[in-house]
Structure 1
Amino acid sequence: MARPVTLFTGQWADMPLAELAPKAAQWGYDGLELACWGDHLDVEKASRSKRYCQQQKKILEDNGLRLFAISNHLTGQLVCDLNNDSRSDAFAPADCAGNAEKKRKWAVKTMKQTAKAAANMEVGVVNGFTGSSIWHMLYSFPPVTDEMIDEGFKYFAKMWNPIFDAFDKQGIKFALEVHPTEIAFDIYTAKRALKAVGNRKTFGFNFDPSHLHWQMVDPVMFLREFPDRIYHVHMKDAALQLDGKSGILASHLNFGDQNRGWDFRSLGRGGVDFEEIIRALNHMGYAGPLSVEWEDCGMEREQGAAEACEFVKMADFAPSSVLFDSAFGD
């Protein structure tokens, strides 16, 4: 069982898809996970035009690549985020800039369209973010009450259940990338998010070990907690760089700064234990793609993408089909 190895195109959106696809094929990838930004996938067009979808898929097919999932992280973030500063203005059309509720309204409509786009692209999973109205309350000072946190999870359910209804109509699953600034960022909040939406099957997770690792949450434990909710897998590495001066809050230092308490790394160059992750995925029976999300500010990205593909293919292995000591039987 060789799981397909794909490349998430979100970090490559500056490069036209027609230019990226042959590179990805040359690097050894089996497919792409198309981001819904840049020219890689236009959600509005894909939701209403199967001809457009065929055009985008042909770019992959012409390069021997397959499509297993699409991802709309940026739009999803606006659904529950406070949207109260300029950081997310670029995630929505220009006429939404500076208007929190206009960004939110556009995001809800567009996430519903994303379900239709996925159906037209003939994939079953959309990866993305949800945003969170309570992330800024993380430290609990000024004091935060339990009721405030409860309201945050209720708001998540209120905003996302209608979107999940649209996903249900198209037979598409939504996989949240568990991640700081989202409603779920570790095991406890992931459980709470599932409960908030009534454990509906539409909602699951895009497993990304890097975001768990730097928080010092065991990625394998996450897999064991949610074996039936892992709808997609990102392969991404991270390294703790704690030196007694910095912490995991990263000191307001940008990615790539050697003084940060943690940073993303090219696959195999950080601290994530991919051996145990593959074993856990085998126990779960996960047969979907292993999608490289490549980020490493200290490494040239094309070299990194090629190396990462090779690493994943070396790290992956099929489970045994026989018991070890069965050879001793009659």
Structure 2
Amino acid sequence: MIKGPGIFLAQFAADAAPFNSFDSICGWAASLGYEGVQIPTWDGRLFDLHKASESQDYADEIKGIAARHGLAITELSTHLQGQLVAVHPAYDAAFDGFAAPEVRGNPTARTRWAVDQVKRAIVASRRLGLTAHATFSGALAWPYIYPWPQRPPGLIEAAFDELARRWQPILDHADEHGVDLAYEIHPGEDLHDGVSYEMFLQRVNNHRRANLLYDPSHFVLQQLDYLDYIDIYHERIKAFHVKDAEFNPTGRQGVYGGFQSWVDRAGRFRSLGDGQVDFGAIFSKLTQYDYASWAVLEWECALKHPEQGAQEGAGFIKSHIIRVTEKAFDDFAGSGADDAANRKMLGLS
């Protein structure tokens, strides 16, 4: 049975109460009906990653704060730090703000810092009793996503070889601590669809810790079949962001959006229930494949206020979680036949 509802705290953390401390934001989440929180490890207002990786007492304290509000910790997130494991130089300035001040402007030092951050989050996850960790892959090939001008032979292969080289020791570290890395498949990352994930997976020798965070909203915007994706990759799905989206192409714009703001794009994220994602089918498929981890709201909407989205999201997720049946619907008509009766029915007596 899927657990939930959970909520990703990244989009809600702020300098004003109740969003400025882990205790107060947990109280807010619990008041809305959430049962779990996913923690952004880069936000010092809520969480001290360095301390959590080195102190079991601190990890227990964080668990205790959540528990006092009736909450569990669903996963830790290193989306921003994972992004910095691999950055193409074209994005150096844009992504530098994700890093600690002392490594900004120094891509080599920034990469080392990012790797250390993800490794610390893996250790902190173990201290918290978590088995999955949410992150991004980063990107070296993304500027070349559209083959114009023509990509020179070997360019993409070299990018994925290097991406795998950087992540291999992190994956091995995760394996040592019993934690799955759940890469969010996301535009802007080299792992942005199933094919690119498979290219990476091949290069890390199908590493058992190189797994997936499933977020259907990104597939709506790419026009990828998000239900077939579950059929293909269900064994690798270890985390789930419940996020809605819509795609309404016109004669003026489509998937690429024409450089418009989010509210003016053909493809845009929406609050739960306001977009086009068939969550009934998604929850059914995940339940069919025995996904038993968390369903976590990630609020990103071009129109609706985040607090309204969060308030509505808890009930939305709860209404979609399927209580798994222990019996077949036609058990009442069972004949109670044994092996001898079965053989008789087949004419084998």
Give the TM-score band, short-chain normalised. over 0.9
Q: Paired residue for 2:94, among 80, 87, 90?
A: 87
Aligned partner (choices 288, 291, 299) of residue 286 of structure 1:
291
Q: Following the alignment from structure 1 to structure 2, what is the Cα–Cα distance between the partners of residues 241 and 42?
A: 41
Q: Deviations over 1:7-35 (max 9, x none)?
A: 01111232222221111001100110111
Whole-Å separation in 2 of the counterparts to 1:196 and 1:285: 28
> Would you say 1:67 and 2:87 are equivalent positions?
no
1:273 Cα shift? 0.7
Aligned residue among 168, 182, 205 for 2:189: 182
Listed as ranges, the matches of 1:81-230 within 5 Å are 81-83=87-89, 84-230=91-237
Is residue 34 from structure 1 mapped to residue 39 from structure 2 by the alignment? yes
2: CA distance between counterparts of 1:171 and 1:266? 34
User: How far is 1:2 from its partner?
Assistant: 5.6
* 1:189 partner letter: S
Counterpart contact for 2:2–2:294, Cα < 8 Å: no
CA distance in structure 1 between the aligned counterparts of 2:274 and 2:280, rounded to whole angstroms: 14
1:44 aligns with 2:50: yes
- Aligned equivalent of 2:343: none
Identity, in percent, stands at 31
- Which AA in structure 2 matches 1:179? H
What code does the residue aligned with 1:4 have?
G
Paired letter, 1:62 = R
Within a 5 Å distance, the mapping from 1:317-328 to structure 2 comes to 317-328=322-333
Q: C-alpha separation between the residues in 2 aligned to 1:319 and 1:312? A: 16
Task: Output the CA distance in 2 between the equivalents of 1:252 and 1:50.
Answer: 47
8 Å contact from structure 1 (residues 40, 56) kept in 2: no
How far apart are the structure 2 equivalents of 1:141 and 1:302? 42
Which residue is 1:9 aligned to?
9
Tell me if structure 2 keeps the 8 A contact 1:68–1:124. Answer: no
Output the amino acid matched with 1:63. Answer: H
Corresponding residue SS for 2:200: helix
Q: How does 1:284-323 map to 2 (within 5 A)?
A: 284-323=289-328
Shift in Å, 1:146: 4.3
Kept in 2, the 8 Å contact 1:82–1:100? The answer is: no
Q: What's the RMSD between the two structures over aligned residues?
A: 1.5
Amino acid at match of 1:21: C
For structure 1, list consecutive stretches of 5 or more residues without a partner in the other structure.
none
Q: Letter of the 2:271 partner, please give it.
A: S
Bigger mean CA offset, 160-169 vs 97-106: 97-106
Q: TM-score, normalised on structure 1? A: 0.95
